[in-house]
Structure 1
Amino acid sequence: MIKEVLNIFLLEDRPAEAELTKRAVFKFAPNAMFTMADSEESFLEKIHWGKYDIMLADYNLPAYNGLEALLYVKEHLPDLPFVFVTGMLNNEQKAADAILEGANGYVIKENMENLQPTVVRVLEESNQRREKARLAAEKTATRKLMLQKALGMLEQAADFPDREVILDSLRKAMEDDDQA
């Protein structure tokens, strides 16, 4: 059971199927909030309205498809987890293509009992990636601060052999960090 508010973007062109997906989500995330889109136009308009925890998308839409939406999300919102909820991924090749293009998972509409474990898994993986990125950024910031401190101390220190070599090495290390 997910107790916190879960902001979900749902791309589904059929109102009845959107309701079924929402009901399935409310069973394990009663505080879920949905932003709905039913076409490419409404998707492109609404996807930037807020910050979403996860995107659920049908694969086939009139004049658009979920794979195009996935590619858009991966280009513009690369940290947004994306799960297909569809009846049209029964073809193994389509499922493989979707995963290879960056979908975090898929659920077949006839097996909505798989929605909860899939969403929970995808959200946990997303949280782990964010935490790993946060720790890496923190480590980089600490390293940069230490380099700046050492550079400042050496610049203030009296001359000693190889002082300039050490200063050049520290400056180079800081430049490398800035470019990374």
Structure 2
Amino acid sequence: MIKTSLRILLVEDRESDVMLIKRQIKKIVKNPVIEVADNLEDCKNHLVNFAPDVVLSDYNLPNCTGLDVMELVKGFDSSIDFIFITGTIHDEELAANTILNGASGYILKKHMNNLSEKLEPFLKKVVVNMVARDELRERIRNNKITVNQIYEYLDKINTDNVEHVENIKKIKEAMNRFNIGDDAE
């Protein structure tokens, strides 16, 4: 059982398949958060407002193909894992093309009864990638903090320099008045 809560976007137009897939996901993920879309517009909205960890998509949808959905997802965030769950990919060349175009994998709907067994390795990989990305995000965040601290220090130096330059200017002006005063005598 995967204990990490996964945010899953399911792109599927058949309500019966949605229910079956959700049931299978709940067998392997303790607390999944699942949103459903059946068109590109809703999918885009979920990418922006839901921020899924993984997208599961049918290949044949009423208004687009799964490749259209994958292109949208990968264009939005190439690090989001994308898995086809479809009855359409019978052609090995088409299946290979989905992988070459960026899919993390595909599962045929004829395996719906044991979908959890087929899906679990993919979702475990998603969790491992999430942990790695979280570690990377933490390092990036720490680096940004360090860079911000350096910028703050440099700004302080610049501020100090401005004060030094102004003080030097005042000293030079005072010295020039002193020198002018000497010439007058």
TM-score, length-scaled by structure 1: 0.70
2:126 aligned residue: 122
Give the partner amino acid of 1:51.
A
Q: 2:81 corresponds to which residue? A: 81
Q: CA deviation at 1:46?
A: 2.7
> Does 2:12 align with 1:8?
no
1:131 maps to 135
Equivalent residues of 1:3, 1:30 under 8 A apart? yes
Would you tell me which structure has more helix in proportion to its own residues? 2
* 2:57 and 2:86 in contact (8 A); partners too: yes
Q: Which amino acid aligns with 1:123?
A: V
> Structure 1 residues 17, 138: closer, same or farther in 2, change over 3 A?
same
Aligned twin of 1:44: 44
Following TM superposition, by how much is the alpha carbon of 1:20 offset from its aligned partner in structure 2, in angstroms? 0.8
RMSD over aligned Cα atoms: 2.9
8 Å contact from structure 2 (residues 56, 83) kept in 1: yes
Q: CA 1:136/1:67 → structure 2, altered by over 3 Å: closer, same or farther? A: same
Given the two structures, how large is their TM-score scaled by the length of structure 2?
A: 0.69
Instruction: Name the amino acid aligned to 2:78.
Output: P
Bigger radius of gyration among the two: 2
Pair 105,130 (structure 1): closer, same or farther in 2 beyond 3 Å? farther
Paired residues of 2:47 and 2:76 also in contact (CA < 8 A): no
- Residue 44 of structure 1 aligns with an amino acid whose one-letter code is K
Report the Cα offset of residue 95 of structure 1.
1.2
- SS of the equivalent of 2:48 reads coil
Aligned-partner Cα distance in 2 for 1:130–1:99: 25
Gaps of 5+ in 2: 154-185
Deviations 1:55-102 (A, max 9, x none): 111111112011111111111122211111111122111111111111
- Match of residue 33 from structure 1: 33
Distance, in Å, in 2 between the alignment partners of 1:91 and 1:119 is 24
In structure 2, the residue corresponding to 1:88 is in which secondary structure? Answer: coil
Corresponding residue pairs, total: 159
Identity %: 33
Contact 1:79 / 1:126 at 8 angstroms: preserved in 2? no
* Partner amino acid, structure 1, of 2:76: H
- Is the 2:81–2:104 contact (alpha carbons within 8 Å) kept by the matching residues of 1? yes
**Residue ranges of structure 1 left out of the alignment (5+ in a row):** 150-180
